[in-house]
Amino acid sequence: MVELLDVPPGAIASVVTYLEMTERPRPRPGPVMMGLHLVPMSDPDPERYRALFRAIGAPWLWFSRLQLDDASLRARLTAPGVALYVVQERKVDVGLLELDFSAQDEVEISFFGLAPHCTGRGAGSWLMAQALALAWAKKPRRVWLHTCSLDHPRALAFYQKHGFRPYARKVEIAPDPRLTGLLPPDAAPHVPVIGETA
């Protein structure tokens, strides 16, 4: 039996897939990304962070961090166990990596992304190699992350290619960030807007 859930006007829905790896993968040859550098962001400026978050995530309707005021965002990004990095190209921020070591024996890759112009040239595999090296250096029991059906169409396959296995799914329904003003109305044109702007 198939069950259909109503999504109210003004909302978006996605299927969230949770993935994990429980053994450190063998190092695999990857691209050498000349000109890209992974730089710790130890004292994050909310404006800088939001600009990068939008540049990476607007095409995929990333909005969770855009809901936070400056104090809440800074508290989240500097919380114990959180490690935040930016990918820079010619000193310009083009990527984001956030690792959460706060849970015992596991590491969450909370955010992982690159600006659209960086995709398709091996930068994602380079960044994943950096992420896994940092995560497994703490010798966790597992490393996990999640993606959703609003994300890049190759995201799920990309994570599986790098050794992650799906273990759970959830359906998420949330206010459409294009209607609440968190993202511009033309973000993610592949996802129809149903409802009126606020």
pLDDT at 198: 52
* Runs of H (alpha helix) within 7-114: 46-57, 70-77
Per domain, the residue ranges of the chain are 12-22+34-180
pLDDT, tens digit (0-9, with 9 covering 90-100), for 12-62: 999 999 999 999 988 766 666 678 999 999 889 999 999 999 999 999 999
pLDDT, tens digit (0-9, with 9 covering 90-100), for 88-142: 998 999 999 999 999 999 999 999 999 998 888 889 999 999 999 999 999 999 9
Phi and psi for 125 in degrees, rounded to 5?
Answer: -65, -40
The structure tokens listed for 117 are: 């112009």
- Percentage with pLDDT > 90 across the chain: 84
**Could you give the CA distance from residue 197 to residue 183 in angstroms, rounded to a whole number?**
11
- pTM passes above 0.75: yes
Q: What is the mean pLDDT of residues 161-185?
A: 96
pLDDT at 5: 85
Listed residue (32, 69, 31) closest to 50, CA to CA: 69
CB 176 within 8 A of CB 188: no
**Could you give the CA distance from residue 69 to residue 183 in angstroms, rounded to a whole number?**
15
DSSP string, 84-142: EEEEEETTEEEEEEEEE--STTEEEEEEEEE-GGGTTTTHHHHHHHHHHHHHHTT--SE
Fold observed for domain 12-22+34-180: Aminopeptidase (3.40.630)
